[in-house]
Amino acid sequence: MAYPKLNSQTITYEQLAKTIDHSLLRPELTRTEVIQGCELAARYHVASVCVKPCHVRLASEILKGSDVVVGTVVGFPHGSSTTAIKVAEALQALEDGAVELDMVINIGELRSGNDDFVREDIRAVVAAAKGNIVKVILENAYLTKEQIVRGCQLVEQAGAHFVKTSTGFAPSGASVEDVRLMRASVSPRVQVKAAGGIRTLEAILEIIDAGATRVGATATAAILDAFRARSITSQ
């Protein structure tokens, strides 16, 4: 299935909201803050919340009956867990109510040129996900352009659904240049998610025009409120 075609000039509020995975991954977040974040996500009708594994059950309870799905992370944030542990994390997350998984690639093995290991590590999580969406984080801050391209190709070979720029916990996050490169490195079957440092309406629209169809964000309310205000002003 081809990825959705989005354009900053024609995108609607509903389409923009459904590009956003509202991120609730900061280590210091309390249960109250997670609940408030889920409630915000439901009010703004975003695509998903991405919560820490320990909060998947809580988020699933809060968002039951809404149009916002629950996602979580696997091998986060460094990607260095063994494949068996990543698979166990994926299975537990699905049991707890997650339907989307953002897994971190084994960054060191990709940089080492161990493509077979990287591909099979991803493939094992995709198999465990049983058709649920798997987004694979490359963590571009640590990669060369060649490694980004190779990582994207391994993600597609392993059967995952998205390539993703960043965890948000590395020295740098998403860039327009990297999103364009990633979009060009995979077929239309694979979508691109950008994350890390996307905090304004202008930034998210630029990333969408570069080819991203999902965006991880914490400034969700500010972004979508700005879009509404702009739409009212332009009428």
Question: What local confidence, expressed as pLDDT, does residue 231 receive?
Answer: 79
pLDDT for residue 232 is more than 90: no
Average pLDDT, the chain: 96
Q: How confident is the model at residue 3 (pLDDT cuts 50, 70, 90)?
A: confident
Question: What local confidence, expressed as pLDDT, does residue 4 receive?
Answer: 75
Convert the pLDDT of each residue in 22-66 to its tens digit.
999 999 999 999 999 999 999 999 999 999 999 999 999 999 999
Question: What local confidence, expressed as pLDDT, does residue 84 receive?
Answer: 98
pLDDT for residue 235 is more than 90: no
Residue 11, C-beta contacts closer than 8 angstroms, at least 6 positions apart: 205, 208
Just list the catalytic residues. 102, 164, 193
Q: CA geometry: angle at 63 spanning 57 and 66, to 5°?
A: 150
Question: What local confidence, expressed as pLDDT, does residue 168 receive?
Answer: 94
Percent of the chain with pLDDT strictly greater than 90: 95
Question: What local confidence, expressed as pLDDT, does residue 234 receive?
Answer: 65
Q: What is the mean pLDDT of residues 154-167?
A: 98
Convert the pLDDT of each residue in 189-228 to its tens digit.
999 999 999 999 999 999 999 999 999 999 999 999 999 9
Terminal Cα distance for the chain, rounded:
35
User: CA-to-CA distance for 212 and 209, rounded, in angstroms?
Assistant: 7
